[in-house]
Structure 1
Amino acid sequence: MTTTSAPPLRIGRGAVRALGFLALATGALESVVTPTLPLLRRELGMSHAEGALLSIVLLVTGALITPVAGKLGDRYGGKRVLVRLMAVVCAGGLVSALAPNLPVLLLGQILQGAMVGALPLSFILVREHLPEGRSKVAIGVVSGLFVAGTMAGTLAAGPVAEGLSRHWMFALPTFAVIGATALVRRLMPEDPPRRSGGAGIDRPGLVLLGATLVTLMLVLALAPEILARPLVLLALLALLACLASGWVAVERRAASPVVDLRMVARPEVWKACVLTFTICVGTSVAAYLVPALFAVDADAYGFGAGATHIGLFLLPGAVAASLAGPLGGFGVRRFGSRAVVTAGILIMAVGLFGLAAVHTEVWHLVVGKTLIALANGLCVTATVTGTATSVDRGDTGIATGLVLVTRVIGFAVGVQISGAILTAGTPAGSDLPAESAYVFGFVLAGAVTVLSLLVVRTLNKGVKE
């Protein structure tokens, strides 16, 4: 393996602004589906299980892109890889904007998932071209603009979809991403590959991981419909087991695996992954069920909210999520990671069980969703921080990457379970789930969240100043 020794070119404010504009645009594009999911379900005739699948395919792509984006950046240069990833994202946005049906829209969302690898590459470029002090500020700015973009997308998606069409809610942020990518290509200097030679990308492992995740999502999405056909269900489960076993076998022999399973075997890492998975399952159940409950007809047990109002109702949760990172970091420094994770789990349990008990007023759902979003941010920040400080410095990237990939998988599984619960709870000949299906979903998520306290008890207290 060889490394380049040429000093990096310094970048000006224009290049940093271009990266910030790109983060803002991608955040907006990523967030348009959640507040408009009830509208998309009506227009495309989707079941709740299909709606759940639509809301997570972007994340599944992201789970595959995240482990290899940095390696590709090392091999070919960060700017080159970033621009090509964003070209895929732009293509996905245009496909989503033009999609006449669910399969085409799913394809667009799969392509858009490449954006998950773009933010880490932006951070790499900033650190490559700026001195330490300025790079920290620039990373904070880019991160903040991505969060601001998600809030803007949450607020604007509903009015655009209802005032223009669902096609425009994908098209407008996609045009912004195209413009931002052009600016980055023009203003960001080329960075030479930092490494050449060495082990390549683990393509067999990547393909098998993707097939395993897709099969898992299909099992969860189709479970309510194929329970009456046990042979079909058993066949899918057997296929899932074969793919997962094959992936483990390949990863154990790969020179540069997608996921380092030896790292997963370390107690501090697997405990962090289990915690992250359970916490994100609880978060994602609320992320799917709350907007769906807002959209239920007011003559039944819901509120008849349209996409615009749903976006407004979800905004406090988005604000809480943006504040949770800094609060979690402060809490870890002051009280230690275990204390912050415990507090977050208790807050999330209160939010989930509270939603199961009372959901007859809009403010019930707004408060519950805000508590859950805050708790998720606290837990994830503390878990990532605790993991990063419990492994050797050289293993930090691998260990925290595993936690972040687990976060995506947990969210995807939780959303699919939510869709399956609502589908199973919908009486024959009706498209309205029973209210008890929502209650069961919130209670199940709350129970999973509380059980994660068993793992928290075994954690080290973590960093405390």
Structure 2
Amino acid sequence: MTTALSPPPTLRKGALVALGTLTLATGALESVVTPTLPLLQRELGMTRSEGALLSIVLLITGALVTPVAGKLGDRYGGKPVLVRLMWVVCLGGLVSAAAPSTPVLLAGQVLQGAMVGAVPLSFIVVRKHLPTGSSKVAIGVISGLFIAGGMVGTLTAGPVAEQLSRHWMFALPTFALVAATTATHLLLPQDPPGREDGGRIDWPGFALLSGSLVTLLLVLALAADIASAPLVLAGLVVLLAVLVTAWVAVERRAAAPMVDLRMLALPTVWKSCLLTFVLCIGTSSAIYLVPQLFELSGDGYGFGANATLIGLYLIPGAIAAVVAGPLGGFSARRFGTRGVISAATVVMAASLVLVAVVHSEVWHLVVAKMLIALASGVAVTALLANTATSVDEGDTGIATGLVLVTRVLGFAVGVQAGGALLTAATPAGSDVPAESAFVIGFAVAGAITALGLLITRTMSKGVTR
């Protein structure tokens, strides 16, 4: 049950600035590995498998931490859990900055992965301190700032690493994060604890959930190389089925489950999760395939762009993603969740199908990527805002955490599917995949995205003026 207390104070400007800065710095630190992975592999002598592990270890940790953070935030209050979690992230940033070897850097990334859990905790805070309509806008702004931080990290990590060193590309955003965490601790008002369940932690459920998510991501990571290790992949699939079955059984019997499966029975939650998964498969396909097409120089397709040009080509899409967060929150408040998500889904599906047919000029890909990023950001933010404000206040963290985990899994599935498709379409003795792989990838992603319209038709309008 939820403890009846006097209403908490409204967030002041200083607290909002601190929370926004925290989100911006978190996004910047989260994004520095991707554009500099070749540099890290070269300087640390990583193998390709180690580089692949480095690129997903933060994702794995985030998928584990997010539902746990949401549960603890609902129970003990968003601010105390948020601040403690961000100190773990700061420690991870410092470890990554000082890392002399690959194992130490991997350890730093594991600690940094706790940052993903900060997102539902931020939603808990704004939900408790702001009215419903304002909460939707604030959630959109938070989502936009996280993406904006990611854009800053993506654009600056390479130059910082090349002009200073790889250590500084981790250190600079970590220093900003330390300052923002301190300001958040000092300026953010306390929010009361939520439901009281005896303070018990469902450790068996947490362990099985952790094993399930790690195994799932390993299955996705190995899917593109199934021919080289079919028995290993088959074994992991069987292990995944066993772990998921055991987890469901444990959670159904737990007095205070880490993830309340009854939450997934709520129409708002399961529809949001399913729709988020579908949309993120389409989004991640574009995120993976568009830069690959920029870089390749095939027979009549591709553009042979270097890393600097690819970064410039992706800037319009990054800007659109930044705008999408606040726009999604505002639009959901003004026009209703169902209409906004339906319109965004149509734009996204149409853009994917069109770029499958027409991709002979740079601007074709630039415009398509921009529209996909804008539509996806608007839709997912509207879904998060609707979920956060549709469940009981004490369930905000776990409900949005489930949506965010689904988002992570959707991205992982889309990227791995794109990678497997390009690998299968690469002729022996060549490193250039056939153009048909890109056509099929974009078209299938568009078709999957369009399926989301079947879900939006069953959703409530959700208008809050």
TM-score range, shorter chain: 0.7 to 0.9
C-alpha change, 1:35 and 1:299, in structure 2 (3 Å) is farther
Q: CA deviation at 1:134?
A: 10
Number of the residue aligned with 1:441: 441
The one-character-per-residue Cα deviations of 1:274-310 (angstroms, maximum 9, x if unpaired) are 1110101111111122233333358995444444433
TM-score between the two structures when normalised by the length of structure 2? 0.82
C-alpha change, 1:346 and 1:94, in structure 2 (3 Å) is same
Please tell me the residue identity of whatever aligns with 1:437. Answer: A
TM-score between the two structures when normalised by the length of structure 1? 0.82
Instruction: Say if 1:56 and 1:415, in contact at 8 Å, map to a contact too.
Output: no
Q: CA deviation at 1:221?
A: 1.5
Q: CA deviation at 1:253?
A: 1.3
Instruction: Say if 1:126 and 1:139, in contact at 8 Å, map to a contact too.
Output: yes
RMSD: 4.0
Higher mean C-alpha deviation, range 3-12 or range 403-412:
3-12
Instruction: Say if 1:18 and 1:187, in contact at 8 Å, map to a contact too.
Output: yes
Instruction: Say if 2:317 and 2:371, in contact at 8 Å, map to a contact too.
Output: yes
1:214 to 2:214 alignment: yes
The one-character-per-residue Cα deviations of 1:54-80 (angstroms, maximum 9, x if unpaired) are 444423322322222244346666554
Number of the residue aligned with 1:321: 321
Q: CA deviation at 1:261?
A: 1.6
| Structure 2: stretches of 5+ with no match in the other structure | none
The one-character-per-residue Cα deviations of 1:120-177 (angstroms, maximum 9, x if unpaired) are 4456557778999999998787666444423322322232234344443223212322
Q: Distance in 1 between matches of 2:12 and 2:394?
A: 30
Q: CA deviation at 1:407?
A: 1.6
Q: Distance in 1 between matches of 2:173 and 2:418?
A: 28
Instruction: Say if 1:49 and 1:419, in contact at 8 Å, map to a contact too.
Output: no
C-alpha change, 1:192 and 1:448, in structure 2 (3 Å) is closer
1:407 to 2:407 alignment: yes
C-alpha change, 1:60 and 1:268, in structure 2 (3 Å) is same
Instruction: Say if 1:4 and 1:193, in contact at 8 Å, map to a contact too.
Output: no
Higher mean C-alpha deviation, range 77-86 or range 358-367:
77-86
Number of the residue aligned with 1:452: 452
Instruction: Say if 2:8 and 2:191, in contact at 8 Å, map to a contact too.
Output: yes
Instruction: Say if 1:356 and 1:438, in contact at 8 Å, map to a contact too.
Output: yes
Q: Distance in 2 between matches of 1:33 and 1:382?
A: 28
Q: Distance in 1 between matches of 2:329 and 2:133?
A: 19
Q: Distance in 2 between matches of 1:116 and 1:134?
A: 23
Please tell me the residue identity of whatever aligns with 2:317. Answer: G
Q: CA deviation at 1:368?
A: 1.2
Q: Distance in 2 between matches of 1:276 and 1:136?
A: 17
What's the % identity of the aligned pairs? 69
Instruction: Say if 1:98 and 1:167, in contact at 8 Å, map to a contact too.
Output: yes
1:54-133 paired onto structure 2 within 5 Å: 54-73=54-73, 78-98=78-98, 105-122=105-122
Aligned residues: 465
Q: Distance in 1 between matches of 2:137 and 2:376?
A: 25
Instruction: Say if 2:194 and 2:394, in contact at 8 Å, map to a contact too.
Output: no
Q: CA deviation at 1:89?
A: 1.3
Q: Distance in 2 between matches of 1:50 and 1:105?
A: 11
Q: Distance in 2 between matches of 1:339 and 1:282?
A: 19
1:370-409 paired onto structure 2 within 5 Å: 370-387=370-387, 398-409=398-409
What SS is found at the alignment partner of 2:359? coil
Instruction: Say if 1:389 and 1:463, in contact at 8 Å, map to a contact too.
Output: no
Q: CA deviation at 1:347?
A: 1.1
Instruction: Say if 2:70 and 2:396, in contact at 8 Å, map to a contact too.
Output: no
C-alpha change, 1:186 and 1:327, in structure 2 (3 Å) is closer
Number of the residue aligned with 1:421: 421
| Structure 1: stretches of 5+ with no match in the other structure | none
C-alpha change, 1:267 and 1:83, in structure 2 (3 Å) is closer
C-alpha change, 1:138 and 1:240, in structure 2 (3 Å) is closer
